[in-house]
Each structure stands twice: as C-alpha cells, then as structure tokens.
Amino acid sequence: MKNNNKLSRALLSAVLLGGIAFGAQAAEPKGFYAGVGAGQSSVDEQRYDDEDTAFSVFGGYQFNHWFGLEAGYSDLGKLEPRGNLGRPLEASSVSLTAVATVPFTDKFSGYAKAGVQRWDLDRALPEVTRTRDDSGTDATYGLGLQYRFTDKVALRGEYSRFEIEDADVDLAQLQVRYDF
C-alpha cells in the first residue's frame, strides 16, 4: 500500500506539472529522442553511506512542447557499507517516467519527471528491506535543466531519486540528448 501511495503522488505531480507547463511556449521538437548520461550516485541509509560513478541510457517520445514519456536504464554503481562491514551493494534500475517541460527561453528549459522503476540489487539490503528479494518496483522522480545547442542536440543536468523500498538512492548526472 505504501508503494502505491508513493507512485500515485509521483504520477499526480507529473500530471500537475504538465498542466502548469501547458501555457508556456517552447522550442522543444516533437518526436523520438535518445541519450546517455554519467554522474554520481549516493546512498545514506543505515549501514550504507557511499558514492560511486553511475551511468544511464534513456529514450523517449516528446508528444508536444510540454509533455513526453521516457524510459531509461541506470547503473547506480557499487555502494560500500559503512566501515567496510559487509559486502558492497550493486544496484540498477529500469524506469518509465512522465516528463513535464517548462521553457525559460527558446534554448533553455527545466523539466520534472515522475514514474515507476524496477530496481535490481545484487543482494537484499540488510536491515532496510522488509523482504529478502533483491528486486522490486517503486517510485522514481527527478528535476533537471536542459540547454539545447541545436534542434537535435541538448545537454541536460539532472537530479533523480530512486526509491528502493525504505532506502533512497540519489543520482546527479550530466546527460546528452539527441532528437531524431
């Protein structure tokens, strides 16, 4: 029930932000896009307090200037336990999010995204997860800024949160987006 409430709040937020953005004008092209990103993941939950390099690939469809859907894969890296007690934790996520864009100028815009993700751990999180499963489904959401160099290429800076049961993994990254 707790996961459904988080997901409902995340999707409602994305829809509301999309509605707010409807009044703005943007130079966002419609159609398919894809991209890659690199950055830093971090976790600060009970036995884990670490950061590591993370990578992502994503693709989506921009329905209009204000709204799109995006699917992505994020390798969240290897996170070490506090005091090196225990084994490192490796995490990844596959996500589907609604993306609401708010233009500031013809080339510069902000965006918010929210949706659902399927996470996978190399093993269960001790003392955090309620089950012994090493995968599950939870909410993900994020904020970003985008600068469009051309009609086809944009640079994005994004901060995302991946909820993994009762733990949160944060990801700050730079991304390059290419529109087809």
pLDDT tens for 20-62 read 444 444 456 689 999 999 999 988 776 666 788 999 999 999 9
Measuring CA to CA, which residue among 178, 16, 28 is closest to residue 105?
28
For residue 156, what pLDDT is reported? 97
* C-beta separation of 146 from 109 below 8 A: yes
Evaluate if residue 3 carries a pLDDT over 60.
Answer: no
For residue 23, what pLDDT is reported? 40
- Rounded average pLDDT over 139-148: 95
142 vs 120, more confident? 142
Evaluate if residue 129 carries a pLDDT over 80.
Answer: no
Identify the residue whose tokens are 């399927």: 118
174 vs 78, more confident? 174
Domains and CATH numbers, the chain: 2-179 (2.40.160.20)
- The three-class DSSP label of residue 93 is strand
For residue 118, what pLDDT is reported? 94
Distance CA 61, CA 180 (A): 10
For residue 59, what pLDDT is reported? 96
**Dihedral-angle region of residue 57 (phi above 0 means left; psi in -120 to 50 means alpha; beta otherwise):** beta
What count of other Cβ atoms lies within 10 Å of the Cβ of residue 9?
13
For residue 40, what pLDDT is reported? 93
For residue 24, what pLDDT is reported? 42
User: pLDDT tens across 54-106, in order?
Assistant: 999 999 999 988 999 999 999 988 877 766 666 677 889 999 999 999 999 98
pTM of the model: 0.75
- Nearest 5 degrees, angle CA 68-CA 73-CA 77? 140
User: pLDDT tens across 105-128, in order?
Assistant: 989 999 999 999 999 887 655 555
